[in-house]
């Protein structure tokens, strides 16, 4: 017998003022979600590192550290995947234009490591221009355990 899969999606949302000192608020937001979602340790750390890198980029590059601007973080959680969206008020960038920081010619450059980490940790990383800014989208496939559903 095939069991019907739940299509329920839980959504969590926060707005963070664009001051680099507020990156800790993204961490606290994810820790709060984790108290409900009970991610496994690997899943949580992939999400934590990727989203905080995205928030840092949105604050510093997208909103130019202007505390009057906010970064919106949305987490969509289902049995099969976690989707994290980070939206800023900036002009955005082309994902393919970010040089690989581990190539010899880029090894001493200070930029590009955040996108590199996101690409390593997330199953899919994309960006698009949205009304009034830019949206980074990170997708993580969840491990399924037969008795428990998503990894916990």
In a domain? residue 63: yes
Which range (26-35, 51-60, 143-152) has the least confidence? 143-152
In a domain? residue 74: yes
In a domain? residue 5: no
Which CATH number belongs to the domain containing residue 102 in this structure?
3.30.565.10
Q: Which domain holds residue 22?
A: 11-147
Contacts of 141 (CB under 8 A, 6+ apart): 80, 81, 123
In a domain? residue 46: yes
In a domain? residue 4: no
Q: What is the pLDDT of residues 84-137, one digit of tens each?
A: 999 999 987 766 666 565 555 645 556 556 888 899 999 999 999 999 999 999
In a domain? residue 3: no
Q: What is the pLDDT of residues 52-70, one digit of tens each?
A: 999 999 999 999 999 999 9
Query: How many domains are contained in the chain?
Result: 1
């Amino acid at each position: 017998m095939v069991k019907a899969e739940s299509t329920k999606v839980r959504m969590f949302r926060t707005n963070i003022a664009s001051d680099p000192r507020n990156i800790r608020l993204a961490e606290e937001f994810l820790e709060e979600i984790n108290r409900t979602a009970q991610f496994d340790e690997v899943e949580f750390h992939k999400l934590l590192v990727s989203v905080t890198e995205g928030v840092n980029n949105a604050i510093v590059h997208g909103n130019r550290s202007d505390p009057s601007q906010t970064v919106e973080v949305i987490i969509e959680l289902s049995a099969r995947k976690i989707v994290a969206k980070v939206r800023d008020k900036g002009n955005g960038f082309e994902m393919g234009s970010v040089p690989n920081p581990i190539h010899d010619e880029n090894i001493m450059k200070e930029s590009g490591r955040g996108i590199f980490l996101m690409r390593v940790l997330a199953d899919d990383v994309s960006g698009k221009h949205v009304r009034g800014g830019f949206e980074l989208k990170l997708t993580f496939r969840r491990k399924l355990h037969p008795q428990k559903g998503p990894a916990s």
